[in-house]
Structure 1
Amino acid sequence: MKILFRLLVLLSLPVLQASAQIYDVFEKEKERPARLLTDRAIQIETTAAIDYMYNFNFYESEREFKWLLVKYPHHPIGFFLVGLNYWWRLVPDTGVKKYDEVIHGYMDKSINLASDLLKEDKGNNEAAFFLAASYAFKGRLYAERENWVKAAWAGKQALKYVELSRGDDSINPELIFGDGLYNFYSKWIAENYKSLKPLLTFFKKGDKNLGITQLENVSRNAFYTRMEARYFLVQIYAMEGQHEKARQLSNQMHALYPNNSFFHRYAARSSFVLGRMREAETYAKELLDNIATNKYGYTANEGRYGAYILGYVNQNYNKDIGAAKFYYQKCTEFAQSNDSEESGYYLGSLLALGDFAMDEGDFLTAARKYKLIIDTKQKKSASYKTAKERIKTLKKKITEAKKKRRLRNR
């Protein structure tokens, strides 16, 4: 649900601080590079680092990228790549805020260096590209924190530089990425967040279908933004009800980067939505196994998905109510541990647990589960509406039970 876009990969703050003296040594000796984004040698050198990053091997990725910061201290590319590495560290759970200042710091450094390059050469499309990308990256992080005013401001800065960087066919696929995200999300936000419409009046109207087409182009033809486009497309396909496309792409990405919990989670989710229950069950078990072994990137977020899927499969396909109860309860615990009580899987798990309790005559437990759903105030949720009906049914059952007890006691 963000207007913005981001890009590339790596390095840690302590390493940068320790390297500051190295930069001072090289600064006077290094020439300011004009173009690096389309340098084939750099692309070849960075391929392994990019793959490491998307497979959550951040240390290896950092080691591979360190040389960019030393060799090109006057160019934004190294600092920009560092920022993306930190972004992907929080992708498994974007509620984590410990990397926010680091990410903004690297993007600010990228912006400063790109601004210097653009002052020296007003026709430097690459400098404009990095300005657009860095501002968009900052804006996206602001959007994650629901700081919409700052997000809109950063997005507007990004768009200004996207306009400046257009027309260079050599980096066109990278530039299309920004246009694609803008076209889709500016329209999607207007449709789904009515309160934000006033902020969007200053922006040109988007086109969701064009945005998807542009992102698909980037996912096939760009270098640095190819995987980022796929990251967004997996989510966009799901939001737009194109679940088979989401399944195919997430399966492909999970096979390519098996340690990446984001693509793993979407592979499970997409299979589940399409009714491919055995496939979904396999992915869900893997998610919970990885959490149990403390595998990096596998958090309560993945647990919520995996536990609900296993609860549903055991209830409706394996006919194992005991296992279904266990996994639904695990889902609620995962959701409560990372403040996801408004999620559909949490509400669905509570509803199922309430229904089990009511069927077993445990009306007190049933009432508690239904009340937890009502307390979330998710009035548009199907679980909320069903819980309201269940409470009515529950009241009738309690009244009937009281009548039967009175009759027995006469």
Structure 2
Amino acid sequence: MYLKGHVITKLKPFSAFESLKRALSCILDFYNKIPIISPLKKVITAFLLSVAFYSPAQVFERGYVQNLVKRGTDHIYNASPDSAEYYIAKAEKHLPYHPVIPLMRAMSILWVNIPTISEELFLEMEYHLDSAVSLAVKNDPELEDPEMIFFAMASYGLLAEYYADQGYTMRAVGEANRAYGLMKKGFEIVDEYPEFLLTTGLYNYFREKYPEKHPIYKPLLWFFRNGDMELGLNQLKRATKESFLTRVEAHVYLSYIYLRYEFEPKLAQTYLSALCEKYPNNYYAKAKYLESLANPTDFKQAPIDIIYSLIKHESPYYKLAGYVFLGYLEEKIIKNQKKAEYAYRLALDYGKTIPSHGEFFKSFGYVGLGRILVEKGEKDEAREMLDLSLKYAETDQVEKEAYRLLSEL
């Protein structure tokens, strides 16, 4: 047994815990016999507080505590906040000062509301993320312990992502720099700690792929270490099997890569269908799964119940997605252009209420409505819809379709 960053490592949690309990029992017995005014009592009080702060049970170690975290995480990704909180609270009894607790609470808020996080909700998330960073640093001031590195890095990353989305550029850059510094530490220990496979894989892939797709950014990346796209993809695939905290995120990012960069929707379908099966209440996965099926051949197998479940969701983001795919179903599979047009228009009305989200679904809806209007000979409105499709387009598929239709007007 040895201590690293004040955290017990290299021991099974229960053996470490039992040893510490016996030691504390002896100390407490001695402590109770010391006069309250004794300087020795002050020393022992400080020691006991430090022991209470640095919990011996660790998340990366297999055992009861890790199982609680796993079960809580499953409920987080199934957007079941009450069930998630039940396991978070149980884990907190064993890890009262561990950053995993506030991070899980932040993630629970995120996945119930993803992707439309209001400022009020983010203030609550921000509180938990800041708490996670604070606890990681208090546990390990130099951030050398793998667990503390991971939880601080994840918290910084989520903060950077939100600040960037909201246009807080300098704050986003600051958090991203902190996350990147810890990510580099993760590069060195990824083979021993599979939770780092996600961030290492993403870095290796996008460090090379992003400037390839957007050459204008290439000069800005010269001071970053080189990546490896093939290695990155393999690391992400491993993360879907070997990690437990980042497994779902690895599924989501791999599907995104196969949809947006590698143009292999069938591979994306594999990862997204697995998420839909395991987490039936995860509407984000449902919407992305339908996106992966969005071509006339594959959409024949689209689960209609998923379309209607999105429509019934209270969030305008999911109503947008649901009605867009209902329109596509009516247009391409059922061949009812009137119902398709109605569904597309309804979808896009919902889209107007969320100006910063749902770009793919908006572009897909506008190009679908444009197709119908071209067929009806309503050229002016068709041109307007197709221009809007190009404004929101995130995929080459939609862009090519919009330009093709515009060339026919």
Is this a same-fold pair by TM over 0.5?
A: yes
CA distance in 1, matches of 2:405, 2:190: 56
Separation in 2 of the partners of 1:332 and 1:138? 30
Partners in 2 of 1:321 and 1:206 — Cα distance? 47
Return 5+ residue gaps in structure 1 as ranges.
1-25, 392-410
Identity among equivalent pairs (%) = 19
The secondary structure found in structure 2 opposite 1:203 is coil
Instruction: Give the drift of 1:246.
Output: 0.9
Match of 1:174 in 2: 195
Summarize the Cα distance change of 1:64–1:225 in structure 2 as closer, same or farther, 3 Å threshold.
Answer: same
Structure 2 residue 308 is matched with structure 1 residue 288:
yes
Q: Tell me, which stretches of 5 or more residues in structure 2 are unaligned?
A: 1-47
Q: Which moved more, 1:162-171 or 1:262-271?
A: 162-171
2:285 to 263, 268, 271: 263
| CA–CA distance in structure 2, aligned partners of residues 272 and 322 of structure 1 | 20
Residue 4 of structure 1 corresponds to: none
Spell out, residue by residue over 1:290-321, the C-alpha distance to the aligned partner (whole angstroms, 9 max, x if none). 433xx4xx633333333333333333332322
Partners of 1:291 and 1:84 in 2: how far apart?
24
Aligned to 1:371: 384
* Contact map agreement 2:55 2:94 (CA 8 A) in 1: no
Give the TM-score, by structure 2 length. Answer: 0.75
Q: Distance in 2 between matches of 1:112 and 1:287?
A: 42
Q: Is the counterpart of residue 81 in structure 1 residue 85 in structure 2? A: no
Tell me how far apart the structure 2 counterparts of residues 375 and 329 of structure 1 sit (CA, whole Å). Answer: 13
Which residue of structure 2 lines up, in the alignment, with residue 355 of structure 1?
374
Change (3 A) 1:77 1:171: farther
Q: Summarize the alignment of residues 17-96 of structure 1 with structure 2, pairs less than 5 Å apart.
A: 30-33=52-55, 36-39=58-61, 40-91=63-114, 93-94=115-116, 96=118
> For residues 313 and 74 of structure 1, do their structure 2 counterparts lie closer, same or farther at Cα, with a shift above 3 Å needed?
closer
Structure 2 matches for 1:3-402, cutoff 5 A? 30-33=52-55, 36-39=58-61, 40-91=63-114, 93-94=115-116, 96-119=118-141, 123-165=144-186, 168=189, 172-193=193-214, 196-197=217-218, 200-239=221-260, 240-273=262-295, 275-280=297-302, 282-283=303-304, 285-292=305-312, 295=313, 299-339=315-355, 340=358, 343-358=362-377, 363=378, 366-374=379-387, 378=391, 381-382=399-400, 384-386=402-404, 388-391=406-409
Which consecutive aligned stretches of 4+ in structure 1 deviate over 4 angstroms post-superposition? Answer: 26-29, 146-149, 165-171, 192-199
What is the aligned length? 352
Alpha-carbon deviation of 1:27? 6.5
Deviation (angstroms), 1:255 = 0.9
- Kept in 1: contact 2:163–2:171 (CA 8 A): yes
Q: RMSD between aligned alpha carbons?
A: 3.1
CA distance in 1 between counterparts of 2:143 and 2:365 reads 53
Greater relative CO (CA pairs within 8 A, separation 6+): 1
SS state of the match for residue 30, structure 1?
helix
Distance 2:175 2:289 in 1: 32
Which whole-Å CA distance do the structure 2 matches of 1:351 and 1:164 have between them?
A: 49
Secondary structure of the 1:82 match is helix
Residue by residue, what CA displacement relative to the aligned partner does 1:10-34 show, whole Å, maximum 9, x if unpaired?
Answer: xxxxxxxxxxxxxxxx968824125
Normalised by the size of structure 1, how large is the TM-score? 0.75
CA deviation map 1:27-58 (0-9, x unaligned): 68824125612232111122322221111111
Cα 1:267–1:275 change in 2 (3 A) is same
Letter aligned with residue 136 of structure 1: G
